A and B are shown apart, each in its own frame.
Chain A
Amino acid sequence: MTTLKKITSHHLFLPIFALFLLLLFNAFFTPGFFMIKFQNGQLYGRVIDILNRSSILIVLSLGMTLVIGTGGIDISQGSVIAISGAICCYLIGGSGSGEANVPMFIACIAAIAACAILGAWNGFLVSKLKIQPMVATLILLTAGRGIAMLITKGQNITVYYKPFTYIGNTIPGNILPTTIFIATAMIILLVITLKKTSIGMFVQSVGINSTASHYTGIKVNKIIFMVYVFSGICAGIAGLMESSMIAAADPNNAGLNMELDAILSVALGGTLLSGGKFYLGGSVIGAITIQTMTTTLYAVGVSSEQLPVYKAIVVIFICLLQSESFKALFSRIPENLKKSKLTEDKKVVMKV
């Protein structure tokens, strides 16, 4: 009983369990789901496809995890994705001859740098002017697509420069899509940074109690600022992958509602949206789970327009599972009453 409880209360239990259920469902109902073909020196298959698509979401959710860890939220990520794609495609240029106006490397760096500045703007509003995170990032959400439109002059820029498509697809000679490598590299870099320095702990402590952190000598404003800059950079990288996948900048639709998916993956990964303890691993698995769900629903025949209905149900379900009062409702079964009361009290004490 106690081992079972230990397993079910582990923070990774929920996302892994959900992923397992989805895969089980697919194993029975989607023929050829796990099939991986080797063709033209590349791996093809639904699983690869899911990993490819979820890489964008993983990168986004890494930034979102840290932001939510400090008790904030960044709803401008989708718009920043559009801006990043627009800048990069604009610099490379849409000339039909397939040549780049500006070297691709510089274009990518410029796009990411611009997104870092946008993130810094968010961070400035939140940390210096003390504006609520949701409202502060709302400004960029509203303006972002307009700015992207200004950059592309209201049109979609199609890029014919071949190497640009390598970011979102496969570099010739590799067997796996580049996005997977980028996402893995990001995860490793972030984990090493968080493990080797105390930034991760600072982020958590700001999220749990920023006033107390301030009195312990943590530079709260600096941490919050940095977290938003990082979120901007993540969105910038995701924007490059997204626009490279379709070899075009689409200011209207690139990254549309992507920030919501990122928030969802973080929530699914066990990080509380009120901030504090955050789980990077949970977010990564959460992102993969969400992409698997999307692909599964497509495979079952749900149209892309109807997809949100199912997503909504999942969101509510996850949040209900996280809710303390909902848990209390279920633990009122007589024999568990005393035990759960005790743990509840302990939790309350810990929170206070």
Chain B
Amino acid sequence: MSFKKIWERIVDSKYFSFGVTIVLFGILYAIGILNFKGFSKSQVFFNLFIDNAALIIATVGITFVLLIGGIDISIGSVVALTCMVSAQLMENTKLDAGIVTILVLIMGLAFGFIQGFLITKFNMQPFIVTLAGQFFARGLTCVISTDTINITNETYNAIASARIYLLPKGFISAGVLIAILTLIISTIVLRYTKFGRNIYALGGNEQSALLMGLPTGKTKIAAYTVCGFCSSLAGVVYSLIMLSGYPLHAVGMEMDAISSSVIGGTLLSGGVAFLPGTLFGVLIQGVIQTFITFNGRLSAWWTRIVIASLLCLFIVMQSLITKNRKRINSNN
């Protein structure tokens, strides 16, 4: 077997994208350790998770939708709406924190369901429907309040400031636990349940999935519902970090989530994704932000530019992979 063939095999492998992401993360982290004092501390690594817990959950949610070849750009607004509703309910109605959380989660579920229903039943473009969802959620946040509402609920504050020590000097927050749990459960669901396999089948080829007798409509709606739920869960975690509701929370989070997912190996044409990979997609964004914080002289907009160029790199890589696969298939 020639070298070229082996290379083609490697590129064709399911985990090639995942491998590239991990190697990239490793390189970035190594550069950080070499350049900055204190980068090697365990807490720096844990902070990556603490700062990006909400983004991890949002990325899991969008991966479900990207898998079926759809898109959801309402995530950031739903996060903001969740924060605002939680803050409003806790501060002005004195409802219990647990009940409030359950209510906002149901709200997210319903939001996702309605979007999925419109997209599936009326054959509307996912982009437009979720665009309307984005407008709606962000506008509704402003209708509730245009000012910041601080969350002073004691239980909520206690949960927010809880530190869970994994190492003698390294701790994570409650939000990270939720994020990791979401990631693990979703990975299992996607891999080992009927629903998960339906999603992969649907993303691979909707026509064949339909002809095989899979419930394509229901699966589609379910995927958007999962995404809506994840958005509101991300909102809960986000509000644990921010402890407030504010109309401009999480602006553009959907784009961060999409780019993390893509960097983590999700094919935007649907059908291919590996959730642990998307985790590293988020972590890469986190590392770049940490770079900028450690450096202290670079401006925050560099994050955006670097992310965009990484995004570009991965998208181009994906298109080359797809071309490669087609060539192999035609050779066979």
State the main secondary structure of chain B at its contact with A. helix
Q: Which of A138, A141, A306, A319 contacts B125 (CB 8 A)?
A: A319
- CA gap between A308 and B146 in the complex, in Å: 14
B135-158 interface with A by 8 A CB criterion: 135-136, 138-140, 142-143, 146
Judge whether B132 and A316 touch: CB under 8 Å: yes
A194 CB–B CB distance under 8 Å: no
Closest chain-B Cβ to A77's Cβ sits at a distance in Å of 14
Judge whether A306 and B312 touch: CB under 8 Å: no
CB neighbours (8 Å) of B247 from chain A are: 305
- CA gap between A197 and B135 in the complex, in Å: 39
What sequence of 0s and 1s flags, for each residue 135-148 of chain A, a beta carbon within 8 Å of any chain B beta carbon?
Answer: 11011111101110
Q: Which of B128, B255, B268 contacts A273 (CB 8 A)?
A: B128
Closest chain-A Cβ to B129's Cβ sits at a distance in Å of 7
Closest to B259 in A: A142
CB neighbours (8 Å) of A313 from chain B are: 132, 136
Closest chain-A Cβ to B217's Cβ sits at a distance in Å of 11
Closest to A148 in B: B301
Closest to A260 in B: B131
Judge whether A312 and B139 touch: CB under 8 Å: yes
A267 CB–B CB distance under 8 Å: yes
A263 CB–B CB distance under 8 Å: yes
B103 CB–A CB distance under 8 Å: no
Given A306-B143, A325-B123, 8 new contacts (CB under 8 A): A129-B316, A129-B319, A139-B308, A142-B304, A142-B308, A143-B305, A307-B139, A311-B139
Judge whether A325 and B302 touch: CB under 8 Å: no
Closest to A143 in B: B308
CB neighbours (8 Å) of B146 from chain A are: 303, 305
A41 CB–B CB distance under 8 Å: no
A326 CB–B CB distance under 8 Å: yes
Closest chain-A Cβ to B305's Cβ sits at a distance in Å of 4
Judge whether B124 and A138 touch: CB under 8 Å: no
- CA gap between A260 and B135 in the complex, in Å: 10
- CA gap between A145 and B268 in the complex, in Å: 23
- CA gap between A310 and B138 in the complex, in Å: 11
Pull 19 A–B residue pairs with CB atoms less than 8 Å apart, ordered by A: A73-B127, A125-B312, A129-B319, A131-B315, A132-B269, A134-B71, A138-B255, A143-B307, A143-B308, A146-B301, A274-B125, A306-B139, A308-B134, A312-B135, A312-B136, A315-B131, A316-B129, A319-B129, A324-B123
B121 CB–A CB distance under 8 Å: yes
Judge whether A308 and B139 touch: CB under 8 Å: yes
CB neighbours (8 Å) of B136 from chain A are: 308-309, 312-313
Judge whether A303 and B142 touch: CB under 8 Å: yes
What sequence of 0s and 1s flags, for each residue 108-134 of chain B, a beta carbon within 8 Å of any chain A beta carbon?
Answer: 000000000010011111011101111
Given the known inter-chain contacts A312-B135, A325-B123, please indicate yes or no for A267 contacting B143, CB distance below 8 A: no
Judge whether B122 and A325 touch: CB under 8 Å: yes
A226 CB–B CB distance under 8 Å: no
B92 CB–A CB distance under 8 Å: no
Closest to B262 in A: A135
Judge whether A308 and B135 touch: CB under 8 Å: yes
Given the known inter-chain contacts A146-B302, A150-B301, please indicate yes or no for A134 contacting B127, CB distance below 8 A: yes
A24 CB–B CB distance under 8 Å: no
Judge whether B131 and A309 touch: CB under 8 Å: no
State the main secondary structure of chain A at its contact with B. helix
CB neighbours (8 Å) of B269 from chain A are: 132
- CA gap between A323 and B121 in the complex, in Å: 10
Judge whether A136 and B142 touch: CB under 8 Å: no
What sequence of 0s and 1s flags, for each residue 274-296 of chain B, a beta carbon within 8 Å of any chain A beta carbon?
Answer: 00000000000000000000000
Judge whether B315 and A135 touch: CB under 8 Å: yes
B202 CB–A CB distance under 8 Å: no
Given the known inter-chain contacts A131-B319, A303-B142, please indicate yes or no for A149 contacting B299, CB distance below 8 A: yes
Judge whether B309 and A326 touch: CB under 8 Å: no
Judge whether A141 and B123 touch: CB under 8 Å: no
- CA gap between A320 and B114 in the complex, in Å: 14
Judge whether B255 and A142 touch: CB under 8 Å: yes
A117-163 interface with B by 8 A CB criterion: 125, 129-132, 134-136, 138-143, 145-147, 149-150, 154
B57 CB–A CB distance under 8 Å: no
CB neighbours (8 Å) of B305 from chain A are: 143, 146-147, 150
Closest to B311 in A: A139
Judge whether B311 and A323 touch: CB under 8 Å: no
CB neighbours (8 Å) of A306 from chain B are: 139, 142-143
Given the known inter-chain contacts A305-B139, A306-B143, please indicate yes or no for A149 contacting B124, CB distance below 8 A: no
CB neighbours (8 Å) of B54 from chain A are: none
Q: Which of B142, B303, B308 contacts A305 (CB 8 A)?
A: B142
Judge whether A143 and B304 touch: CB under 8 Å: yes
CB neighbours (8 Å) of A143 from chain B are: 304-305, 307-309
Closest chain-B Cβ to A330's Cβ sits at a distance in Å of 12
Closest chain-A Cβ to B11's Cβ sits at a distance in Å of 16
CB neighbours (8 Å) of A149 from chain B are: 299, 301
B258 CB–A CB distance under 8 Å: yes
Given the known inter-chain contacts A138-B255, A306-B143, please indicate yes or no for A145 contacting B301, CB distance below 8 A: yes
Closest chain-B Cβ to A252's Cβ sits at a distance in Å of 10
> Lowest 4 A-B CB distances belong to which pairs?
A143-B308, A309-B139, A305-B142, A308-B139
CB neighbours (8 Å) of B71 from chain A are: 134
Closest to A326 in B: B122
Closest chain-B Cβ to A294's Cβ sits at a distance in Å of 13
B176-196 interface with A by 8 A CB criterion: none
Closest chain-B Cβ to A138's Cβ sits at a distance in Å of 7
Closest to A317 in B: B132
Closest chain-A Cβ to B253's Cβ sits at a distance in Å of 12
Given the known inter-chain contacts A129-B316, A145-B304, A323-B123, please indicate yes or no for A267 contacting B139, CB distance below 8 A: no
Closest to A305 in B: B142
Closest to B313 in A: A139
CB neighbours (8 Å) of A308 from chain B are: 134-136, 138-139, 142
